[in-house]
Amino acid sequence: MIGKLEGKVPPGPLEQKWRNHKNNSRLVSPNNRRKFEIIVVGSGLAGGSAAATLGELGYRVKCFCYQDSPRRAHSIAAQGGINAAKNYQNDGDSVFRLFYDTIKGGDFRSREANVYRLAEVSNLIIDQCTEQGVPFAREYGGLLANRSFGGAQVSRTFYARGQTGQQLLLGAYQAMCRQIALGTVKMFPQTEMLDLVLVDGHAKGIITRNLCTGEIQAFAGDAVVLATGGYGNVFFLSTNARGCNVTASYRAYKRGALFGNPCFTQIHPTCIPVTGHHQSKLTLMSESLRNDGRVWVPKRTEDCAKPPKDIPDADRDYYLERKYPSFGNLAPRDIASRAAKEVCDEGRGVGPGGRGVYLDFADAISRLSEDTIRERYGNLFDIYQKITAEDAYKTPMRIYPAVHYTMGGLWVDYNLMSNIPGLHVIGEANFSDHGANRLGASALMQGLADGYFVLPYTLPNYLAGQIGKRPSTDDEEFKRVESEVRERVKKLLEVNGERTLTSFHRELGLLLWDKCGMARNATGLREALEKIPDLRDEFWEKVRVPGEGESYNQSLERAGRIADFLEFAELMCIDALERDESCGGHFREEHQTPDGEAQRDDENFAAVFAWEFQGNGKVERPKLHREPLHFEAVHLTQRSYK
Ligand SMILES: Cc1cc2nc3c(=O)[nH]c(=O)nc-3n(C[C@H](O)[C@H](O)[C@H](O)COP(=O)(O)OP(=O)(O)OC[C@H]3O[C@@H](n4cnc5c(N)ncnc54)[C@H](O)[C@@H]3O)c2cc1C
């Protein structure tokens, strides 16, 4: 029975909460730390930084990932940058401003104290990563350089060309490797967590499958940390790496962990448009490009087929600059995405199918030179050229919104612990500090804040009472969950139908994009809720999973993940239907302002929706718990970027 949801936000003034909480948190003494085994699932920026830091502190860490190396975690894909309130530009930035931009950017649907803490530790991240040798871009005089990202009127984004995630990940990986060499961290690559084990209601272990040999194994620990990333791939097409999935979070949910705001999905405005049925993935063009690129479409539909160079300036609609003069091309993602959809719905989109808008660098090139633009974004222009065979130095890029990030995730309290004692969730996998819309360059900040600077302080609050309580994998519960995992793997292989995995995944993704994507309404969501269970039934009758369980079998891996998506998609639609308001990326067509912006309903929906699995293994309507959101330092307003 889950009682009242407690965010466990510490008392006191906002700017003192974190300091006071650290001062009042429990400690585990150095000679006791080595007695604890911590299971960290995920070795991206969140998991890698947590594993390295916990190892450095002296805990014994077992770290798992499904890739062949931690260096291949999806975090490597992050291009544009990481925010911090250093105010190196002297342009008026501060911890409060970063906090305020983030909470407003999220349309006032995140926990105030968590967001303030995030802004507070942002500066430590930059110092730590610089010390590690992360090659952030620098100004001529040697100071670290900054650029702007959406939803901010200051330049606070630190970057390493268009490879920020990769460079930060190398930093975390090095730190983790040091611990691997010292023996405090043991790495288990190509090992997928397939279930969570609870002993006496506490998270005390996981069941995994070795992806090379198929061996199913149990691991016990004193606490479990999930850092398993986001689930954007539920939509089939997204900018996420192909392997990103919901399995670890969803299976923890089925064991009792609450899922927070599952319908909050970020649609990124600047991605290379879909070109056809052959695609299994979409490509992001970093938001940083909107520092210098101008977004436009033709004013008249009859001009849409003309080459862009033949459309004079007077006949172009720079719609973001027109609608949002204060933020212009750097309007936040949810707003810029909807604006692109709107002009395309009006028939003014460009490129095949009319689902594209221009991102044009001509002005920036004539102002700054092609060399400067190449230096800033060269690798992004190269990616664009390789995919579209077009030279964006000569002709504008064509872009369109695509699924990119999931603000929803497992519910956690201020200590980053879920409602299951011992189960902690960090990075994109938790329901996050980004509310209903994440600002650019804030995911890397959150993942590293959680792993380097928050979890190491909050985890001892749980561990201090757990000395000597680690169960053995011989415990009944481990045996029971392990046999359920074996049964499920066997069942997937036994269906032996004729329909491909991809066909199921694509059908689900298109349905979700259509009914629970950039815009949603009650009728569409109800339709999706009728169709998803049928598709799921068909999957279990007709799917074909070739190969066997005792060897390397990527089809089997995918099958398990798609089976989870087929259940999880229903939860997303239930959540989207229940939240009868618009906020951030959750745009319910029934609720818009006269200008077509998201219309919140603070009286009824200023709350985190946290869903509890019901159904004893089967999918039934989940139970809703609400965590009311209280705002002391900010005043809730209609978001405006005009
Ligand atoms: C193309 C692209 C560009 C981006 N650019 C930026 C940017 O410039 N700035 C920014 O702030 N954000 C950016 N983001 C978002 C950001 O990259 C991610 O939110 C962030 O990297 C997520 O980090 P993470 O550690 O939480 O998860 P991930 O990096 O996704 O790591 C997840 C880890 O969990 C493991 N895992 C998952 N499931 C299991 C399982 N069942 N068993 C075992 N292991 C498992 C994986 O192997 C992996 O190690 C971008 C996202 C995309 C898609």
Which helix (H) or strand (E) segment holds residue 403: the answer is strand 397-406
- List beta partners, residue 398: 358
Residues at CB less than 6 angstroms from ligand 1: 41-47, 64-67, 73-75, 77-82, 164-165, 192-193, 227-230, 239-240, 244, 247-248, 284, 404-405, 427-429, 441-444, 447
Query: 289-300 as b/e, with b when 16 or more CB fall inside 10 Å?
Result: bbbbbbbbbbee
Question: What average pLDDT does the structure give for the chain?
Answer: 95
Query: Is residue 80 scored above 70 in pLDDT?
Result: yes
Pull the structure tokens for residue 199: 């002993």
Encode pLDDT of 482-538 as tens digits: 999 999 999 999 999 999 999 999 999 999 999 999 999 999 999 999 999 999 999
Pocket test for ligand 1, best of 71, 72, 75, 102 (most atoms within 8 A of CB): 75
- Banded model confidence at residue 279, pLDDT cuts 50, 70, 90: confident
Average pLDDT over residues 613-634: 88
- Banded model confidence at residue 276, pLDDT cuts 50, 70, 90: confident
Please list the active-site residues. Answer: 333
pLDDT value for 169 = 98
Express as a percent the part of the chain with pLDDT over 70: 99
Which helix (H) or strand (E) segment holds residue 555: the answer is helix 554-578
Residues belonging to the chain: 642
What is the DSSP secondary structure assignment for residue 15, as one 8-state letter?
A: H
Give dist(CA 104, CA 278) in Å, integer: 38
Which ligand 1 atom sits nearest the alpha carbon of residue 193?
A: 42
- List beta partners, residue 358: 296, 398
Integer distance in angstroms from the first to the last C-alpha of the chain? 46
Give dist(CA 599, CA 10) in Å, integer: 31
**Protein residue with its CA nearest to atom 50 in ligand 1:** 78
Pocket test for ligand 1, best of 272, 444, 556 (most atoms within 8 A of CB): 444
Query: DSSP characters for 531-547?
Result: HHHHHHHHHHHHB---S
Query: Is residue 162 scored above 90 in pLDDT?
Result: no
The amino acid sitting at 142 is: G
Query: Is residue 618 scored above 80 in pLDDT?
Result: no
Encode pLDDT of 171-213 as tens digits: 999 999 999 999 999 999 999 999 999 999 999 999 999 999 9
pLDDT value for 376 = 86
Residue 165 CA to ligand 1 centre (angstroms): 9
| Close Cβ partners of 222 (under 8 Å, ≥ 6 residues apart) | 36, 37, 38, 204, 422, 463, 466, 469, 470
Express as a percent the part of the chain with pLDDT over 90: 91
Q: Are 176 and 169 spatial neighbours (Cβ–Cβ below 8 Å)? A: no
**Strand 191-199 with 202-210, pairing:** antiparallel
Task: For residue 374, give the 3-state DSSP assignment.
Answer: helix
User: In Å, how far are 219, 248, 494, 539, 563 from 533, measured between CA atoms?
Assistant: 33, 21, 20, 10, 11
Is the torsion defined by CA of 416, 84, 372, 298 positive or negative?
Answer: positive
Residue 294 CA to ligand 1 centre (angstroms): 28
Which ligand 1 atom sits nearest the alpha carbon of residue 230?
A: 30
pLDDT value for 275 = 85
**Strand 294-298 with 316-317, pairing:** antiparallel
Give dist(CA 34, CA 314) in Å, integer: 69
Q: Are 565 and 415 spatial neighbours (Cβ–Cβ below 8 Å)? A: no
Pull the structure tokens for residue 310: 């033949």
Give dist(CA 569, CA 557) in Å, integer: 19
Residue 66 CA to ligand 1 centre (angstroms): 13
pLDDT value for 615 = 78
pLDDT value for 278 = 86
Half-sphere CA count of 200, side-chain side, radius 13 A: 6
- Banded model confidence at residue 339, pLDDT cuts 50, 70, 90: very high
Query: Is residue 406 scored above 70 in pLDDT?
Result: yes
Query: Is residue 617 scored above 90 in pLDDT?
Result: no
Query: Is residue 299 scored above 90 in pLDDT?
Result: yes
Half-sphere CA count of 34, side-chain side, radius 13 A: 5
Average pLDDT over residues 1-14: 88
Average pLDDT over residues 271-296: 91
**Closest of 84, 150, 145, 78 to residue 118, by C-alpha:** 84
Cβ-based neighbour number of residue 246 at 10 Å? 29
**Protein residue with its CA nearest to atom 33 in ligand 1:** 42
Which ligand 1 atom sits nearest the alpha carbon of residue 245?
A: 38
Main-chain dihedrals φ then ψ at residue 226, nearest 5 degrees = -95, 125
Residue 255 CA to ligand 1 centre (angstroms): 23
pLDDT value for 616 = 61
Give dist(CA 248, CA 261) in Å, integer: 17
Q: Which residue segments constitute the domains of the chain, with CATH numbers given? A: 268-403 (3.90.700.10), 476-616 (1.20.58.100)
- List beta partners, residue 598: 592
Using H for helix, E for strand and C for coil, what is the string for 245-312?
CCHHHHHHHHCCCCEECCCCEEEEEEECCCCCCCCCCCCECCHHHHHCCEEEEECCHHHCCCCHHHCC
Q: Are 313 and 363 spatial neighbours (Cβ–Cβ below 8 Å)? A: no
Using H for helix, E for strand and C for coil, what is the string for 112-153?
HHHHHHHHHHHHHHHHHHHHHCCCCCECCCCCECCECCCCCC
Distance of CA 364 to the CA centre of its chain: 31
**Protein residue with its CA nearest to atom 38 in ligand 1:** 228
Give dist(CA 538, CA 519) in Å, integer: 27
Q: Are 284 and 229 spatial neighbours (Cβ–Cβ below 8 Å)? A: no
**Strand 294-298 with 265-271, pairing:** unpaired
pLDDT value for 1 = 67
- List beta partners, residue 41: 64, 226
**Closest of 450, 453, 425, 427 to residue 438, by C-alpha:** 427
Tell me the angle at which helices 164-182 and 45-57 cross, rounded to the nearest 10 degrees.
30
Residue 449 CA to ligand 1 centre (angstroms): 14
**Closest of 426, 459, 31 to residue 249, by C-alpha:** 426
Average pLDDT over residues 63-71: 97
Residue 526 CA to ligand 1 centre (angstroms): 31
Pull the structure tokens for residue 397: 């890029």
Distance of CA 147 to the CA centre of its chain: 22
Instruction: Enumerate the H helices of 324-428 as residue ranges.
Output: 333-345, 362-368, 370-388
**Strand 60-64 with 37-41, pairing:** parallel
Tell me the angle at which helices 45-57 and 455-463 cross, rounded to the nearest 10 degrees.
60
Helix, strand, coil percentages in the chain from 3-state DSSP, rounded to 5: 40, 15, 40
| Close Cβ partners of 291 (under 8 Å, ≥ 6 residues apart) | 147, 148, 330, 376
Query: Is residue 416 scored above 80 in pLDDT?
Result: yes
pLDDT value for 2 = 74
Encode pLDDT of 106-139 as tens digits: 999 999 999 999 999 999 999 999 999 999 999 9
The amino acid sitting at 265 is: T
Q: Are 227 and 402 spatial neighbours (Cβ–Cβ below 8 Å)? A: no
Pocket test for ligand 1, best of 428, 432, 488 (most atoms within 8 A of CB): 428
The amino acid sitting at 201 is: G
User: In Å, how far are 33, 66, 478 from 60, measured between CA atoms?
Assistant: 8, 20, 21
- Banded model confidence at residue 444, pLDDT cuts 50, 70, 90: very high
